[in-house]
C-alpha cells in the first residue's frame, strides 16, 4: 500500500485490534483504492478516506427478554450507522450467536458501497444481536424482537435509518419488529423493509438477493458468450439467499448439486430440482430442520457432516462450473479456493457477505476465475429494499413483474458499472477493484459536496 492507505490501515489495526472481520473488509477496500488514490486530488479525497472508514455512529445496548418459563435473559444489540452521504442508513439486522461489533462494523462498511452501486438513495448501516432464534418458540422470538426494537426505535426512522432482515431475521422477525415499532411510535411508515406484501412489503423481496446474484452472474457469462444452460453449480447455505439462487439457476437451465448448513452439506449428483427445492424450503422455513434430512428424503443424495477440526469445506470439493457461496463470511479459505480451481471452476459469485478470504480472492484472480464480490453480487436484496422504500413513500404497491424488471435492470447496471470502472482504472477483469473504486468515488464525491461530513 502507498503511504496514505498504509497509514489508515495501521490506524485501524491500532484502534480496533480485535476486530478481524472489520480489518479484513477495510484491507480489501484499501487495496483497491490504493491503485487510484495518488491520481486523485490529494487534499480533497484524502480528507474523506479516513472519514469513510470510521462509522458516523455505533450503538450498543442490552436486550432483556424472558423465556417461556419466565427466566430472564440478556443479549447484546447493535446498530452501526456507517455513512449517510447518499441517503438514510440502510442495512439488515442479523440475529446469530456470532454477532459482535467487528462483524456489524464490517457489514455496515460493505453495505455503504453496496448501496451506492445500486444507484438508489441509500446510505450504509447494519445491526443485530447475538440472540439465536434457533430452538426458540415463536413467543420467545416475539418477546425478544419487541424488546430489541423498543431500544432501537429511538435511533431509526423512514428518513433516518431503515433496517431490514439478514441471517436469523426473516418475515416472522420483521413482523414482530414492525408491530412493536408501530405500537411505540403510533405511525405506519416504511421504517423497516422485508415486510409482508399484505402490509407494505414489496413483491420479490424474499427472492431478491438470490435472483439478483444470478442475474449479475448471468451478465458476466453473457460477456463471454456463455449462459447457465447445462452448467453444474455449487451453492452453499440453505437459507433464503441459497434457496432463491437455486430457484433462479434452475429456471436458466443450470443444475445445482449442493446445499449446506452449520452441521454439514449434501451432494446430490442428480440435481436439486424444483420438487426437491420445495422440500428444502419447507425443511428450513417451516420445520426449521437440518440439511441432513435431505439425504434421508432423497436417497440419491449423500450427506457430509461438518468437520469439527476445520480443514477444507466439503461443499467446495465437488466438480462444477460455477460456485455461489451463500452461507456466511470467510467460508471459502485459500484451501477451498485451490480445490475449486483444481475442479476447473469458471465463475464464483458471492451471495453471502465477504464469504471468501483475501487469500482466496487472490487465488481466483491469479487463475483467471470470473469473480463477483459480494458488495456487487448480492446487492439485489437491498436494491429491492430500496424499491420497497419508494413504494412505501408513495403508498402504492408495484406488481411482481415490475419489481423483477427493475431488479434485473439494477443488477445489469451494477455489473456494467464495476466492469467499466475496473477497465478505466487499469484493473480490467478485476471486479473487486471495480466495485470498490466505483463505490468509493460515488460516496466520497457526495461527502465532499456536503462539506466532508
Each residue of 122-132: pLDDT tens digit? 999 999 999 99
Report the pLDDT value the prediction gives residue 38, as an integer from 0 to 100.
84
Average pLDDT of span 64-77: 98
Instruction: Find the range with the poorest average confidence among 48-52, 113-117, 275-279.
Output: 48-52
What's the number of CA atoms in the CB half-sphere (13 Å) around residue 145?
28
Average pLDDT of span 178-194: 96
The pLDDT tens digits for 131-151 are 999 899 999 999 999 999 999
The cell numbers describing 390, all together, are: 419508494
Task: Answer for the pair 351, 237: CB distance below 8 angstroms, yes or no.
Answer: yes
Task: Give the whole-angstrom CA distance, residue 370 versus residue 432.
Answer: 11
pLDDT at 360 over 90: yes
Closest CA to 209 of 385, 345, 68: 385
Q: Parallel, antiparallel, or unpaired for β 264-267 and 370-372?
A: unpaired
What percent of the chain stands above pLDDT 70?
98
pLDDT at 349 over 90: yes
Task: Give the whole-angstrom CA distance, residue 16 versus residue 93.
Answer: 22
Task: Answer for the pair 364, 341: CB distance below 8 angstroms, yes or no.
Answer: yes
Average pLDDT of span 398-418: 98
Report the pLDDT value the prediction gives residue 101, as an integer from 0 to 100.
97
The pLDDT tens digits for 374-385 are 999 999 999 999
The cell numbers describing 373, all together, are: 464480490
Q: What secondary structure does DSSP assign to 277-289, as a single string?
A: HHHHHHHHHTS--
pLDDT band, very low/low/confident/very high, at 84 (cuts 50, 70, 90): very high
Task: Give the whole-angstrom CA distance, residue 199 versus residue 176.
Answer: 13
The cell numbers describing 126, all together, are: 447494519
Report the pLDDT value the prediction gives residue 307, as an integer from 0 to 100.
79
Q: Is the dihedral of CA 209, 334, 125, 216 positive or negative?
A: negative
Instruction: Find the range with the poorest average confidence among 39-53, 158-172, 180-194.
Output: 39-53
Task: Answer for the pair 109, 41: CB distance below 8 angstroms, yes or no.
Answer: no
Task: Give the whole-angstrom CA distance, residue 426 versus residue 435.
Answer: 13
The pLDDT tens digits for 5-24 are 888 999 999 999 999 999 99
Report the pLDDT value the prediction gives residue 308, as an integer from 0 to 100.
64
Mean pLDDT across the chain: 95
Report the pLDDT value the prediction gives residue 116, as an integer from 0 to 100.
98
pLDDT at 338 over 70: yes
As beta bridge partners, residue 234 has 323
Report the pLDDT value the prediction gives residue 44, as an integer from 0 to 100.
82
Closest CA to 86 of 51, 58, 115, 106: 115
Which of left, alpha, beta for 305 (phi over 0: left; psi -120 to 50: alpha)? Answer: beta
The pair phi, psi for residue 254, each rounded to 5°, is -85, 165
pLDDT at 204 over 80: yes
Catalytic one of 35, 114, 126, 442: 126
Torsion, Cα 244 403 220 280, to 10 degrees, reads 0
The answer to whether 126 is a known catalytic residue is yes
pLDDT at 348 over 70: yes
Report the pLDDT value the prediction gives residue 43, as an integer from 0 to 100.
73
The cell numbers describing 344, all together, are: 476447473
The pLDDT tens digits for 409-438 are 999 999 999 999 999 999 999 999 999 999
Task: Give the whole-angstrom CA distance, residue 194 versus residue 174.
Answer: 7
pLDDT band, very low/low/confident/very high, at 1 (cuts 50, 70, 90): low
Average pLDDT of span 385-407: 97
pLDDT at 42 over 80: no
Report the pLDDT value the prediction gives residue 46, as an integer from 0 to 100.
82
Report the pLDDT value the prediction gives residue 310, as an integer from 0 to 100.
62
Task: Give the whole-angstrom CA distance, residue 340 versus residue 324.
Answer: 11
Report the pLDDT value the prediction gives residue 309, as an integer from 0 to 100.
56
What percent of the chain stands above pLDDT 90?
91
pLDDT at 213 over 60: yes
pLDDT at 277 over 90: yes
The pLDDT tens digits for 283-333 are 998 888 999 999 999 999 999 998 765 668 999 999 999 999 999 899 999
Task: Answer for the pair 328, 352: CB distance below 8 angstroms, yes or no.
Answer: yes
Within 331-447, strands assigned E span: 347-349, 370-372
Other Cβ atoms within 10 Å of 338 Cβ, number: 17
Average pLDDT of span 197-204: 96
DSSP 86: S
What's the number of CA atoms in the CB half-sphere (13 Å) around residue 24?
20
For the chain, domains (ranges, CATH) are 3-188 (3.40.50.10860), 208-368 (3.40.50.720)
Report the pLDDT value the prediction gives residue 339, as an integer from 0 to 100.
97
Which of left, alpha, beta for 283 (phi over 0: left; psi -120 to 50: alpha)? Answer: alpha
Report the pLDDT value the prediction gives residue 45, as an integer from 0 to 100.
86
The cell numbers describing 151, all together, are: 431500544
Task: Answer for the pair 25, 34: CB distance below 8 angstroms, yes or no.
Answer: no
Q: For the chain, count helices (H), then strands (E).
A: 16, 13
Amino acid at each position: 500500500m502507498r503511504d496514505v492507505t498504509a497509514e489508515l490501515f495501521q490506524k485501524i489495526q491500532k484502534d480496533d485490534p480485535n476486530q478481524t472481520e472489520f480489518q479484513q473488509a477495510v484491507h480489501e477496500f484499501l487495496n483497491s483504492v490504493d491503485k487510484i488514490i495518488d491520481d486523485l486530488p490529494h487534499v480533497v479525497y484524502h480528507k474523506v478516506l479516513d472519514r469513510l472508514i470510521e462509522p458516523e455512529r455505533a450503538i450498543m445496548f442490552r436486550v432483556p427478554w424472558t423465556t417461556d418459563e419466565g427466566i430472564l435473559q440478556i443479549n447484546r444489540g447493535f446498530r452501526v450507522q456507517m455513512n449517510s452521504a447518499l441517503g438514510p442508513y440502510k442495512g439488515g439486522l442479523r440475529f446469530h450467536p456470532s454477532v459482535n461489533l467487528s462483524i456489524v462494523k464490517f457489514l455496515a462498511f460493505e453495505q455503504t458501497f453496496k448501496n451506492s452501486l445500486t444507484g438508489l438513495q441509500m446510505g450504509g448501516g447494519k445491526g443485530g444481536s447475538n440472540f439465536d432464534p434457533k430452538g426458540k418458540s415463536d413467543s420467545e422470538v416475539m418477546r425478544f424482537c419487541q424488546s430489541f426494537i423498543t431500544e432501537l426505535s429511538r435511533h431509526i426512522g423512514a428518513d433516518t435509518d431503515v433496517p431490514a432482515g439478514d441471517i436469523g431475521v426473516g418475515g416472522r422477525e420483521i413482523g414482530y419488529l414492525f408491530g412493536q415499532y408501530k405500537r411505540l411510535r403510533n405511525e405506519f411508515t416504511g421504517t423497516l423493509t422485508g415486510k409482508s406484501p399484505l402490509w407494505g412489503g414489496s413483491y420479490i423481496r424474499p427472492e431478491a438477493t438470490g435472483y439478483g446474484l444470478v442475474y449479475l452472474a448471468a451478465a458476466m457469462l453473457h460477456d463471454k458468450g456463455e449462459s447457465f444452460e447445462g452448467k453444474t453449480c455449487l451453492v452453499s447455505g440453505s437459507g433464503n439467499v441459497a434457496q432463491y439462487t437455486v430457484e433462479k439457476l434452475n429456471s436458466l437451465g443450470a443444475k445445482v448439486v449442493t446445499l449446506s448448513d452449520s452441521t454439514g452439506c449434501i451432494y446430490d449428483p442428480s440435481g436439486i430440482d424444483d420438487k426437491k427445492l420445495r422440500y428444502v424450503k419447507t425443511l428450513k422455513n417451516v420445520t426449521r430442520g437440518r440439511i441432513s434430512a435431505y439425504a434421508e428424503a432423497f436417497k440419491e443424495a449423500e450427506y457430509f457432516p461438518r468437520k469439527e477440526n476445520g480443514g477444507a469445506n466439503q461443499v467446495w470439493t465437488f466438480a462444477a462450473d460455477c460456485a455461489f457461496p451463500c452461507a456466511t463470511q470467510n467460508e471459502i479459505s485459500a484451501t477451498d479456493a485451490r480445490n475449486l480451481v483444481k475442479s476447473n471452476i469458471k465463475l464464483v459469485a458471492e451471495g453471502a457477505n465477504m464469504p471468501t478470504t483475501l487469500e482466496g480472492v487472490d487465488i481466483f484472480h491469479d487463475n483467471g476465475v470470473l469473480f463477483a464480490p459480494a458488495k456487487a453480487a448480492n446487492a439485489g436484496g437491498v436494491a429491492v429494499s430500496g424499491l420497497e422504500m419508494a413504494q412505501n413513500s408513495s403508498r402504492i404497491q408495484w406488481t411482481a413483474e415490475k419489481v423483477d424488471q427493475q431488479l434485473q435492470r439494477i443488477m445489469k447496471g451494477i455489473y456494467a458499472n464495476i466492469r467499466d470502472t475496473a477497465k478505466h482504472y487499469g484493473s480490467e477483469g478485476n471486479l473487486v477493484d471495480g466495485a470498490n473504486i466505483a463505490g468509493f468515488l460515488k460516496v466520497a464525491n457526495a461527502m465532499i459536496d456536503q462539506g466532508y461530513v
